[in-house]
Amino acid sequence: MALIWNEMTAGRIADTLKAQWIQGDPEVRFHGIATDSRQACDGKLFWALKGERFDAHDFLDQAAAKGASGLLVQSGRILPPLKREDMVVLAVENPQQALGTLAAWWRHQIPLKVVAVTGSAGKTTTKEMIATILSLGEKTLWNEGNLNNLIGLPLTLFRLESDHRCAVLEMGMNRKGEIAALTEIADPDVGVITNVGPAHTEGLGGLAGVAAAKVELIERIRSTASVVVNGDNKPLMEAVAGFNRPVVTFGFAPGNTVRADRIKARGHEGFTFDLVYGGHTYTMTVSVPGLQNVWNALGAAAAALCLNTHPDQIAEGLRLFKGMHGRFEIHFLGNNILLVDDTYNANPLALETTLTSLEGLAAGGRRIVIGLGDMLELGDKAPHEHREAGRRVTETGAEWFLAAGRHASDMQAGAIEAGMPPDHIRAVADAAAMLETIVPLLQEGDLVFLKGSRRMGLDLVSRGLHDTFGEGEHS
């Protein structure tokens, strides 16, 4: 089906944004929006955004050369002489805010159900699970990769086509006010908060600050929308208690609206559990391991139930979801080594939750070997959180612990305090050193768990283990 973009004129965009008209024909129609002048801009409206490192106003010529049909710029900027007189040029006070304004307008041009997902951990996985479920029934859009901020989310909404009926939008943040702004743009029918944990505490002033920033979703969401929250997560529920509105809770504890009962681990194949809701019980299969994914599945199921999705469709979607790269991803290597690649990212909540699943995966006598990289953006809490991480590693019964980064010595100290023999710990500088150190320590049948913040690049260790040991048999 045709994009409605092609039906929208420059004049209509200018009216919607109350933009200043600088030049061009108001009847021009754009094929979409471009923000990167290095990419093809054919027939698109080039939106001049100012980032931390670049100001797109410096690349207007390049955008024009790449085929842009129009430019949206900041009012008052001196523009270079434009070689193409046919070019539409619009100006607004704040191009970034205007991007959100147009996206919010665009979202309402289509009869659509929107689910928004935020939280300290599990946003992407929960979003993908919801999208897998909903797309079994209706055409569904969801954000790709990390397009979850005040630029990525509007750009995702611009991909909506007239036959989309659902959108699942991840909302990320590292500053106060971001979730409020994203909620206003997305105008969700269902808002999900997966959890609150010590992530981004640097910018937000501790756990209470993180919780306050996440519940901006509840502050701003439409009063008729459903709010879905993790009822097992104490800091979140404390923040939710401040609101006088009904919420749907999910979790393992009795009393949650959507609850998991009789959870059975199936090793690296995931879980089965009974989903209990409204006096009914439905058997669910999650095809990915890691207990965190049962919470994510419950959050996804609760969101889908708010949209009246049939439980059979939810069960099918959860069964079909096959996990995501670098998120508790299972690899079978040569020498019967089982690698759990969780290198996509890390924060203390994610680490604590994921470590609890290792013992089950090691059943049958595998030794546990853990490689952790620094968890970033924790501010002055960092030394304490890394010592805690070391302590938690010890509790898994790990045979070897490799810690990499500036906080390696904190992790090492925590592990020693908790009783791990010092000669079973290696503190190293970075991912490359971890790879070099880990290889000679590994034995046949080991379970290797790797995790660290994205910028620590522990995926290098994962790739290095593949190169060293090769692919193995599924066992």
Nearest to ligand ADP of 342, 430 (CB atom): 342
CA–CA dist 184, 308 (Å, integer): 24
Q: Please measure the distance between the N-terminal and C-terminal CA atoms of the chain and give it in whole angstroms.
A: 45
Q: How far is the CB of 413 from ligand ADP (least distance, A)?
A: 23
CA–CA dist 9, 13 (Å, integer): 7
- From 161-169, 347-355, 363-371, 432-440, span contacting ligand ADP (CB under 6 A): 347-355
For CA atoms 294, 263, 343, 212, the dihedral sign is: positive
Residue 30 binding ligand ADP, by CB under 6 A: no
Interface with ligand ADP (CB under 6 A), residue total 20
CA–CA dist 429, 448 (Å, integer): 19
- From 51-59, 90-98, 152-160, 344-352, span contacting ligand ADP (CB under 6 A): 344-352
Q: How far is the CB of 250 from ligand ADP (least distance, A)?
A: 10
Residue 453 binding ligand ADP, by CB under 6 A: no
Exposure of 437 in the CB half-sphere (CA atoms within 13 A): 20
Q: How far is the CB of 15 from ligand ADP (least distance, A)?
A: 36
**In the numeric block, which tokens belong to residue 44?**
């698109």
Among 159, 200, 259, 327, binds ligand ADP (CB under 6 A): 327
Q: For ligand ADP, what does the binding mask look like between residues 351 and 370, x meaning CB under 6 A?
A: --xx----------------
Among 143, 195, 249, 453, binds ligand ADP (CB under 6 A): 195
CA–CA dist 75, 35 (Å, integer): 17
Q: How far is the CB of 345 from ligand ADP (least distance, A)?
A: 5
CA–CA dist 361, 86 (Å, integer): 63
The H-or-E segment that residue 172 falls in is none
Determine whether 16 is exposed, middle or buried from the number of CB atoms within 10 Å of its CB (0-12, 13-18, 19+).
Answer: middle
CA–CA dist 384, 242 (Å, integer): 29
Find the binding residues for ligand ADP in span 119-138 (CB under 6 A).
119, 121-125
Among 226, 292, 357, 412, binds ligand ADP (CB under 6 A): 292
**Residue 173 and residue 213 in contact, taking contact as beta carbons nearer than 8 Å:** yes
Nearest to ligand ADP of 147, 315 (CB atom): 147
The phi and psi torsions of 102 (rounded to 5 degrees) equal: -70, -40
Q: How far is the CB of 353 from ligand ADP (least distance, A)?
A: 4
Residue 349 binding ligand ADP, by CB under 6 A: yes
- Residue 243, number of CB atoms within 10 A of its CB: 12
Residue 296 binding ligand ADP, by CB under 6 A: yes
Q: How far is the CB of 136 from ligand ADP (least distance, A)?
A: 20
Q: Using CB under 6 A as the criterion, which residues of the chain lie in contact with ligand ADP when the complex forms?
A: 119, 121-125, 194-195, 292, 295-296, 327-328, 342, 344-345, 349-350, 353-354
